[in-house]
Structure 1
Amino acid sequence: MLPFDLVIKNGRIVSETSDFVGDVAINGETIVALGHNLSGTSEINASGKLVIPGAIDGHVHMRTERPKFAYDETFATGSVAAAFGGTTTMIDQIQADPGIRLGDALRDRRSLGEGESCIDFSFHMNIREESQQRLDEIADVIDQGITSFKWFMAIPGWGISDEFLMKGMLTVGDAGALSIVHAENQGVLNAMRWRTPRRDISRFTDNYPASAEAAAIALALSMAEVANCRTLVFHNTCTQGVDAIRRAKARGVKAFGEVCLAWLTHNDEVFAGDPIAAIPFLLTPPIRTASDQRALWEGLRSGDLDIVSTDHALMRRVPEERALELAEYFGLSINVPPPNENTPRDAEGNRLMPLLTPGGIETRLPLVFSLGVATGRISLHRWVQICSSQPARLFDLDRKGQILPGFDADIVIFDPHAERTYSVNNLHSNTDYSVWEGWNCRGVVGKTLVRGKLVVDGNRFVATRDHGKFISRKIGRPSYSISQEASLS
């Protein structure tokens, strides 16, 4: 028998249900066999390491222009950072401007990733223009490989009416696609802002009560129930929201919940300290209490929450006045401490401050292991499931998320015993600060393969930046069976 192209040997192969020591054989871009004593033209010794499916980040924002700022992370820089963090597929978002057809917006956005991304990528389509034409365009976008549609229930200029959300869910549900909601009640948020138009940054969360988030989640999932529409709630933050998802699932609603990394690593204590360090956490819905954070971890353990993503959208530091403009937008005042010799400045001497957002595309997989598996909050199998296998199923990535014959050879070799201290100087995103600066993480990505190609080898990037490709997703492809995997272990 001829040797395989590549064999990963003697690794501890861990999936969402199985755990065994063996070899993984790859020909070209595809896993072709699991076994023992397999031979390859090239071989990687994974003895003592975990061999897991490549992670999938289903919630990122690469370079995006906003009215007053733009995210600095690009497909080129963000995909490299992702690969160093063990992420082999990311799903970016398309925000079509009014008057631009959704299909045209998809083609424009796709062109930004092709030739720039070293990992595979796809998109969610954001819809904020309330028109029958937008609903009619959904079928065309599905034909072009997009099977998930995002709706904002809040944020001025983005939020849509309940009526249009219901129409959207009916349309998406009839097609068998996935609806995604940013769930907050804009009326409640407006009233809180009216009551106290200006607050100190230490009281940021007061204007975004957890009950407003939970009520919006309950409403969205009630609509999903009527529409028979698979629905994912993005960035859950609170105990009440997790409870709303649990109740919907108990009723048989096709409900799913996401939590993002920063909400698992930080809580509202960030607003009690240095106000400048708190600026990257001006997120909605906001980072909440330590009790809410515990509920998020418990939701991941129990299955009430389904996936961990990042909402990765990084910027570099900006001049002070721009950071204070963002605070003004949120109705916040910041008592800026006086500068000192360590205060960052630009070439003109202007004081620099961090802006949005925490990011996390490189730190997600290791930190969820370090804070989740290593502490006993979640199991090793659950870690693989929430970071890889479940996102693959949820987002119709039918060749991703498993180490099985016939699947893409997206593989991470992970050292569960090694440790790493994070610094902006050893991370790879296009930013000059990190909210995880100085954090010690147990568990380190050693190698990352994307469709059989070694992309990261230790601290070296060893691929070309154009290796990644757009993944066209299809609704209704055969789903992966857990029994299929169990028979191989």
Structure 2
Amino acid sequence: MFELVIKNGRLITPGGVVSADIGIEGETIAAVGLDLQGHREIDATECYVLPGAVDAHVHLQLPLAGRVSTDTFTTGTIAAACGGTTTVIDFVTPEPAQPLLDALSARRKEADNTVAVDYGLHMTIPTWHAARDERLEDIPAAVAAGCGTFKLYQAYDGMMLDDVSLLRVFRAVAAAGGRVVLHSETGPVLEELRARALAAGHTAPIWHERTRPARLEATAIHRAAELAHVAGCPLYIFHVGCAAAVAEIVAAKARGVAIHAETCPQYLALTADEHLAGLEGELFVCAPPLRSEEDRQQMWRALAQGDVDVVSTDHCPWTRNEKAQSDFTTIPG
């Protein structure tokens, strides 16, 4: 007799869909079989039963440019639970003089006792930490404390790392047994393209995509993959949304690079021409931007073929008023 039995469900397993019962003790699956008995039983006839989803990329109560993303750890994780997601992974961003472990502890205090699901944290290594040996020396302690993934950026002032800094952090993370998770765009060139667009009077949301060419996302991935390979560091590319980026990831895997990648629902469902260029285009600003219909279709093929490994949300919500900015460079996304 089990504490709880989910009966007659269609179980999603690695071998396919099977009709069976699940016996549960505490929070652990104790048995899968037929005609199991429980003190409490849930009839799942005609229902699919599958593990809770893991969303490896969310931004809850994220401070950004004087704003804070609108979902708190409480509201965001309640929403996750309602959608069947039982684990989320958020981020820690240390202040300039803050040791990694202090930042980790502070962020955990924000989340503990407020979350409705399990959670983890990626540790961001900003520009100011990547340049200091004593901060990189904190990385093994962060791994030992349960934070084994480290987010790096190839874009954004204050976050962007050049190739030398990337290599330094890759080596430090590899030596500690961690993994780098990466926002991959060619930041300095994007800033120049954005400035030129504004100077020419282009402020509409579609210019968010036009100043972030897909090939520049792909070339950034190429450079990062080579540096990670040199350092022996496992690499995970965030929010891949274009065919050119997928091609670089496939080529890197073929060269033996330890690289994995995620895409997000927005790149599977939306396009720049239909959404960024349409009414309320500001609501569809995200980074990297939405791409073409051809890119959207390629992302589905990449998932089906195993070229892209994970679907995560990059959930980072803002209000309509916060999105309603006068030019594309100031729209949070």
2:171 counterpart residue number: 170
1:238 positional shift: 0.9
1:98 counterpart residue number: 96
1:68 positional shift: 2.2
The total of aligned residue pairs comes to: 326
Alignment of 1:240-259 (within 5 A): 240-259=244-263
> What's the secondary structure of 2:261's corresponding residue?
strand
1:225 positional shift: 1.2
RCO (CA 8 Å, sep 6+): is it higher in 1 or 2? 1
Query: AA paired with 2:32?
Result: L
CA shift digits 1:181-229 (9 cap, x unpaired): 1001123213323443341423331110111100000111111111221
Question: Is 1:79 matched with 2:82?
Answer: no
1:301 counterpart residue number: 304
CA RMSD of superposed structures (Å): 1.6
1:47 positional shift: 1.1
Alignment of 1:172-321 (within 5 A): 172-197=173-198, 198-201=201-204, 202-268=206-272, 269-274=274-279, 277-318=280-321
| Separation (CA, whole Å) in 1 of partners of 2:16 and 2:179 | 28
CA shift digits 1:260-288 (9 cap, x unpaired): 111111111212211xx211322221111
Question: Is 1:117 matched with 2:115?
Answer: yes
Alignment of 1:86-485 (within 5 A): 86-128=84-126, 129=128, 130-197=131-198, 198-201=201-204, 202-268=206-272, 269-274=274-279, 277-318=280-321, 323-324=324-325, 327=327, 329-330=329-330, 356-357=332-333
CA shift digits 1:62-84 (9 cap, x unpaired): 11222321111001101110011
CA shift digits 1:350-391 (9 cap, x unpaired): xxxxx644xxxxxxxxxxxxxxxxxxxxxxxxxxxxxxxxxx
1:428 counterpart residue number: none
Q: Identity of paired residues, percent? A: 36
Alignment of 1:38-53 (within 5 A): 38-53=36-51
Query: AA paired with 1:135?
Result: L
| Separation (CA, whole Å) in 2 of partners of 1:18 and 1:286 | 35
1:159 positional shift: 0.6
| Separation (CA, whole Å) in 1 of partners of 2:57 and 2:68 | 17
| Separation (CA, whole Å) in 1 of partners of 2:328 and 2:149 | 33
CA shift digits 1:294-323 (9 cap, x unpaired): 11111111001000011111122327xx73
| Separation (CA, whole Å) in 1 of partners of 2:328 and 2:27 | 50
| Separation (CA, whole Å) in 2 of partners of 1:203 and 1:24 | 51
Query: AA paired with 1:279?
Result: E
Question: Is 1:28 matched with 2:26?
Answer: yes
Query: AA paired with 1:240?
Result: A
| Separation (CA, whole Å) in 1 of partners of 2:170 and 2:42 | 47
2:67 counterpart residue number: 69
Question: Is 1:11 matched with 2:9?
Answer: yes
Q: Say which structure is richer in helix.
A: 2
| Separation (CA, whole Å) in 2 of partners of 1:264 and 1:328 | 22
Structure 1 outlier segments of 4+, above 3 Å: none
> What's the secondary structure of 2:20's corresponding residue?
strand
TM-score normalised per structure 2 = 0.94
> What's the secondary structure of 2:294's corresponding residue?
helix
Query: AA paired with 2:224?
Result: A
Contact 1:280 1:356 in 2 (8 A): no
> What's the secondary structure of 1:324's corresponding residue?
coil
Gaps in structure 1 of 5+ consecutive residues: 331-354, 358-489
Query: AA paired with 1:163?
Result: V
